Amino acid sequence: MQSIKSWWGGISAGLRLHPKSNGVRVRRATAAYIRTGNIARGRQDWSRAASAYRRALEREPHLQHLWVQLGHMEKEAGEIDRAADAYQEAARLRPDDAEPLIQLGHMAKAWRQPAEAAGHFVAALQRNRANLQATSELVRLMPDRDEVDPGLWIAVLDVLEIDPADLQSDDTGHVPAGAVVLDVTDLLAFFGQRRLPTGIQRVQIEVSLACLEPRFEPQPMFCVYASARRGWIRLSHDHFDALCRLARQSDDITDPDWTRQLDRMYRSIAVARTIRFSPDTVLINLGTSWSDRNYLLDVRTIRARDAVVYVPLVFDLIPLIGPRWFIHSLVRDYRAWFGSLLHSADGCLAISEATREDLLRKSVEWKVPVPRGAVPVVRLDGDFRQAAAGVEVLQGYGLNAQGYVLFVSTLEPRKNHQGAFEAWLTLANTLGEAAVPRLVCVGGRGWLNEHLHQMLRDRPALRRLVLILHGIPDDTLATLYQHCLFALYPSFYEGWGLPVSEALSYGKVPAISHVSSLPEAGGSFARYFDPYAATDIAETVRTLLDADTREQAEAAIRQAYVPRTWHHIAEDMVAQARGVPSRVQDTLPCLVDAGCWTLALSSQTGDGDGVPHAEQGEALRHGRGWLSPGMTGCRVVGEDAALCLRWTGPRAAIHIHFAASPGIVSVKAGIDGALQEYRAEPGVALVVSMVLPEAPATLRIAIVPIAGEVVVEKVVVTPAAHA
């Protein structure tokens, strides 16, 4: 009987006698339209896919999941009203499904309708209060409790299950003068998507945990940037401490302990006060925070308004130095961030002498030189030892103690897994496979690495010699370090080289590249090779396969290598940052001649030399009236928006170009408070021109919208003849 059922099931599937969509049985004609839509969706033909899904829904309008898909396709095709209608219908058909409301919230957020977006996320949580995505999105949109609509505030407290009596009435958000505040926005964003830390997140966690110790002085605050508030929110020390400790234990983002703690953190952020900075506060960013286009604009605001000193930790400038190792969008975003950073930071903490030299050199190339004294170095020669799992965990991976070499790194081109693989094939050819230890590669899945997987597919010997592991928790990684022969790190370029310090912490010899910062990390304890020569890598590895050579090197590490505690590194970081002076005036964009500065997002990555080829105007922006830049320019609302700059050129004129609008555009603009009103008819681009002073001056050009959608496209300076 079972064989007959299997036979008939195969026949039915082949003939599509009982087709299904998302597990729901549908008619054959409906299924045909859905297949057509799916094919079009795969080709990114959004309009054709939407048309096919609509035809299917005309026949069976009860297919709730298909209404959601239709909403996705209409949104991608730019049919915003149709997309909203589709999501609304999906929400009506299944009152228990939060997904359509989350999609409506994303759309409202994208169209700069934060109150409407927050309403959708509240509605989603009313359907499913355990939905972390809706909670995190709502948190990002919440204004300060003094500015929130009372009805929304009551609804938010209800869905987040927060008792108003539990809120601290005396919490003003005030930061004492001279306080140290650590910005961990990047880390919390990472926790929203992943759990197990990679190199940069590991540093952020270790520094944070050291600063959270009661004995650490001065006791820093921790904060995250909130784009909806255009400011920073203080984090609960207890919630943040627990989250950091949980992150190191596993890569399981569905673990109830993890989701529960993340939820607690989100809820506390939603109702916390916006930080009110005092003079001489030192704001240290432990990441980059380049995901929000207005982050550095708001940094410039608090530097000018509150005398805050902003000092980010800079891990490396590799996307500028080697853009070929990254996807184009990352290089584009990094360039935009770096160009703005030079005008927004008082100084930077570099993690190595090599990174400091890179930053100083690039700042000169970008014509915004940073003084050497404003870039102190904080070495990351920390103690990375963690509590280890038992040696028996090796058996689960088919490994034996002292039977493998460890290579810890994300699988990406810069880390040079290809060079390592070629070296292992060379060793197998010269020594024989039996004499070559396995190469165990531990790290994230990475990007631009298809050639590595192709090498493994094409070379059976390589498949036998190489083991790739993802999602390894800290205790297992500690065991892998403890029982490896030695460590390998053939990277082409680094800001420091954390796996080198990790290996030395466990008393293992690192075989590493002699480039960039790696000699700083490895010192006299590492063995070096040319990362561009697989034969040199192989020869260095072959030398360390000799037990006497390896044991002598390990003895030197035991006798002389002393890693710093993370408490010491954190103290060093805070002390160095507090020594950076304010440079508000020095970091204003300095215009010296004719030119053009765009306020639109760049779609170009340059030709790979890391030098800007079209001037960015983002850093000219000051004030809370600027919205996020778009592909056509940057919109202005309210009365607090200005272009701030230093002019040191000859007699010239400055021209502010505004985008054409379907309606009338009216705007006031002027230098240092002398405002005049300008107007453009529908469909006509507006250009406002002003004469620049003949003597060097610091200028503030205010822009105040009166009517219409005011979008600044670019700023152009022309010689006196055109003034």
Least confident residue range of 341-355, 596-610, 630-644, 680-694: 596-610
pLDDT in tens, 551-601: 999 999 999 999 999 999 999 999 999 999 999 999 999 999 899 999 998
- Distance in angstroms (rounded) separating the CA atoms of residues 653 and 265: 51
Please tell me the distance from the alpha carbon of residue 333 to that of residue 330, in angstroms, as a whole number. 5
Q: What percent of the chain has pLDDT over 70?
A: 95
Listed residue (380, 577, 557, 575) closest to 481, CA to CA: 557
Query: What pLDDT score was predicted for residue 143?
Result: 85
CATH number of 21-163: 1.25.40.10
What are 118-126's contacts with CB under 8 Å, separation 24+? 118/142, 118/152, 118/156, 119/152, 119/155, 122/152, 122/155, 122/156, 122/159, 124/98, 124/99, 125/98, 125/159, 125/160, 126/159
Question: Which among 550, 593, 584, 549 has a CA at the least distance from the CA of 692?
Answer: 593
H or E, element range at 152: helix 150-159
**Which is it for strands 282-285 and 24-25: parallel, antiparallel or unpaired?**
unpaired
Q: pLDDT tens, 13-36?
A: 444 556 888 888 999 999 999 999
* pLDDT band (50, 70, 90) for residue 328: confident
pTM as predicted: 0.87
pLDDT in tens, 86-114: 999 999 999 999 999 999 998 888 777 88
For 349, the token pair is: 């903490």
Helix axes 199-212, 498-505, angle to 10 degrees: 60
pLDDT in tens, 197-246: 888 899 999 999 999 999 998 899 999 999 888 999 999 999 999 999 99
C-alpha–C-alpha distance, residues 68 and 116, integer Å: 19
Q: How many other C-beta atoms can be found within 10 angstroms of the C-beta atom of residue 329?
A: 10
pLDDT of residue 23: 84
CATH of 391-561, one of 3.40.50.720, 3.40.50.2000, 2.40.10.120, 3.40.50.970: 3.40.50.2000
Fold of 172-374: Rossmann fold (3.40.50)
What pLDDT sits at residue 458?
A: 84
Residues of CATH 3.40.50.2000 domain(s) within the chain? 391-561
Amino acid (one-letter) located at 691? V
Cα distance between residue 99 and residue 582, in whole Å: 47
- At position 114, the amino acid (one-letter code) is P
How far apart (Å, rounded) are the C-alpha atoms in residues 355 and 596? 31
197 φ, ψ to 5°? -75, 145
User: DSSP of 473-485, one letter per residue?
Assistant: -HHHHHHHHHTSS
Tokens matching residue 519: 């000699």
What gap in Å lies between CA 441 and CA 443, rounded to an integer? Answer: 7
Q: With residue 573 as reference, give the H or E element that holds it.
A: helix 566-578
Percentage of residues in the chain with pLDDT exceeding 90? 70
- Whose CA is closest to 694, among 654, 659, 647? 647
Q: Are 370 and 603 contacting, i.e. CB atoms less than 8 angstroms apart?
A: no
Instruction: Enumerate the β-bridge partners of residue 707.
Output: 666
State in Å, rounded, how far the first CA of the chain is from the last one: 92
Query: Per residue in 371-408, pLDDT tens?
Result: 999 999 999 999 999 889 899 999 999 999 999 999 99
Please provide the average confidence, as pLDDT, over all residues in the chain: 90
User: With the C-alpha atoms ordered 416, 418, 423, 427, is the resulting torsion angle positive or negative?
Assistant: positive
Tokens 């090796």 sit at which residue? 394
Would you state the pLDDT for residue 120? Answer: 92
Rounded distance, CA 310 to CA 344, Å?
A: 8
Residue 169, pLDDT score: 66
Asked if 277 contacts 299 with a C-beta cutoff of 8 angstroms, the reply is: no
pLDDT bin (cut points 50, 70, 90) of residue 12 is very low
Which architecture does CATH list for 590-722? Sandwich (2.60)
Q: Is 212 left (phi over 0), alpha (psi -120 to 50) or beta?
A: alpha
9: part of which helix (H) or strand (E)?
A: helix 2-15
Question: How high is the pLDDT of residue 19?
Answer: 85
Q: Per mean pLDDT, which of 5-14, 418-427, 711-720 is the most reliable? A: 418-427
